[in-house]
Amino acid sequence: MAHARQTLHNSVTFPGAGGVVPHRLEEQRDNKQASEKPYSIYTRQEKWFIVMIASLAALFSPLTAMVYFPAIPTIASAFHTSIESINLSVTAYMILQGISPMFWGTMADSIGRRPIFLGCLLVLCFSCIGLALVPTSAYWLLMLLRCIQAAGSASTVALGAGVIGDIGTPAERGGFFGLFTLGPQVGPALGPIIGGVLADKLGWRSIFWFLCIMSATCFAFILTFLPETLRRLVGDGSVIPSPFYRPLVPIVGKGRVNRDAQKPPKPTLNNPLRLFFYLDVLNLLVFNAVLYAVFYAVNTTISTIFASKYPFLNEIDIGLCFLAIGGGMIISTVLSGRMLDADFRRTKARLVKKAEEDPEKRILPKDVTKEENFPIERARLRMIPIFTAIFILTCTGYGWTLQREVNIAVPLILQVIFGYTVVATMNGVQTLLIDLLPSQSSSITACNNVVRCSLGALIVSVVDLIVNAIGPGWTYVLLGGICLACSPMIWLAIWIGPRCRAKRRAGNTAA
């Protein structure tokens, strides 16, 4: 008996003896280290750098569309066709802008972000060369090359969203997405000005040479610096992929890779169309698409309405008018990202306090951010009803200021507010979509793109007819009314979101 007590004493006192207690202590230490393992090996500064590169690439999606608008009359004259015929290239561009990310985004979720980024930019670069050299007798070739251009440029937004899902935790994604959307918002602000100046000073072909040089530069930048981030290939970034996936100059994550890290399982190709059958996802996609379509209707009618209501404006002046709505969008990209992160922290702090005060300890404070416990819909959509209300009021007011031909400063100020609220709303919804399906962030962004571009193309094709029939005042009352009718979808998202997520978790567990 004494010998047994001595043996037990030795097992507790001397960890190296290999007893039961040391084994448990070692297991607890390993579990603690696993729980404290960071989501990504990259530092916060390195993450910002990666997001900045993605944002630069995403600039081309709206830039290639907006830089074309001021040159439409000149191109129509060069091709000896009507403006309506050239506008068909805009419609075709928007259709491909919506469809192509479904292909590229799905591929990026399977074979990697980096090769798809490079592929898209290569397609964009060569299509711009073709457009710069297209003969004016080949209108069909102009249409074809514009479609190819859209196929190359449009997917960069979905790819960038995928990168954010790879490297950012839910607490970081709001800020990252705010910086990321800075690139796509600069396009609508500067595109018309750049296009107008180039078309006026160097001719319309210079627009496509400019895009060719810019896309080639971005291609070289990504080839040199951007690492592969797809978690199915590199995990948290510590797994070394094949040389094809490595940057030429690995300046991020250097010295933190693990050569012995286990390679993630081979990726499978998921069908993005099945995402449309998730009720919470479909609800968010439709709501976001309605606001985007109204925004695009406002943006595409700026040139024609301002030219008719304020005839003292020349082409360059009208191009500068786009700075108002673009400026509001750029400001919103910075502030809305911080707001989303602050709302996440505020929601987390409230839940932690509630968990600490719960006598039954049904949820531990450290577990409040787990998917099954955290109300991510409330955290992301907390301010969206307010922004949507301001968006609707601004839209209707903007139409009537143009109808009454008030001082030009008034509609321009309303454009700033309009641009701010639409970006704040869309950023919140887009960040939530990534939170819902982070492993398919490129695919979900592609779905968002196809829905909103399809609806946007539909509204753009008829908005000029509506303005000519009932005037800008009643046109924007109509568009604002559509947004008002869709506003209950915000509360529907908060109500059905947790139920839909629980259903998906149960399905994944059963599988």
Task: Give the pLDDT score at 415.
Answer: 93
Token duo for residue 272: 């993005």
Which residue from 147, 192, 187 is spatially nearest to 55, judged by alpha carbons? 187
How far are the Cα atoms of 139, 141, 142, 204 from residue 79, in angstroms, in the given order? 7, 11, 10, 12
Task: Give the pLDDT score at 481.
Answer: 94
Over its C-alpha atoms, the chain yields an Rg (Å, rounded) of 26
Task: Give the pLDDT score at 263.
Answer: 59
Task: Give the pLDDT score at 184.
Answer: 79
| Centroid of chain to Cα 364 | 33
Distance CA 474, CA 399 (A): 7
Task: Return the DSSP state at 252.
Answer: S
Residue-wise pLDDT tens for the chain (511 aa)?
444 444 434 433 333 334 444 444 444 444 444 445 678 888 888 999 999 999 999 888 888 888 887 787 788 888 888 877 777 777 788 778 778 887 887 788 888 899 999 999 999 999 999 999 999 888 899 989 998 998 888 888 888 888 988 888 888 887 887 788 778 777 777 887 888 788 878 888 999 999 999 999 999 999 999 999 888 888 888 888 888 888 998 888 776 666 555 555 555 556 677 888 899 999 999 999 999 899 888 887 887 788 888 888 876 777 788 888 888 888 888 788 888 888 888 988 888 888 888 777 777 778 787 877 888 899 899 999 999 999 999 999 999 999 998 999 999 999 999 999 998 999 899 889 988 887 777 778 778 888 887 888 788 778 888 888 898 999 999 999 999 999 999 999 999 999 998 888 887 655 4
Which residue from 331, 300, 289 is spatially nearest to 423, judged by alpha carbons? 331
Distance CA 320, CA 334 (A): 22
Distance CA 227, CA 208 (A): 29
Task: Give the pLDDT score at 208.
Answer: 93
Task: Give the pLDDT score at 265.
Answer: 56
Task: Give the pLDDT score at 37.
Answer: 66
Residues ≥6 apart with Cβ < 8 Å to 317: none
Which residue from 356, 378, 379 is spatially nearest to 367, judged by alpha carbons? 356
Burial of 506 (0-12, 13-18, 19+ CB in 10 A): exposed
Q: Which CATH superfamily is domain 42-251+269-351+368-510 in?
A: MFS general substrate transporter like domains (1.20.1250.20)
Distance CA 288, CA 129 (A): 34
Q: What share of the chain is helix, strand, coil (3-state, %, to 5)?
A: 80, 0, 20
Distance CA 396, CA 420 (A): 16
Residue 269 near residue 106 (C-beta atoms within 8 A): yes
Query: Which amino acid is located at 80 in the chain?
Result: H
Task: Give the pLDDT score at 494.
Answer: 93
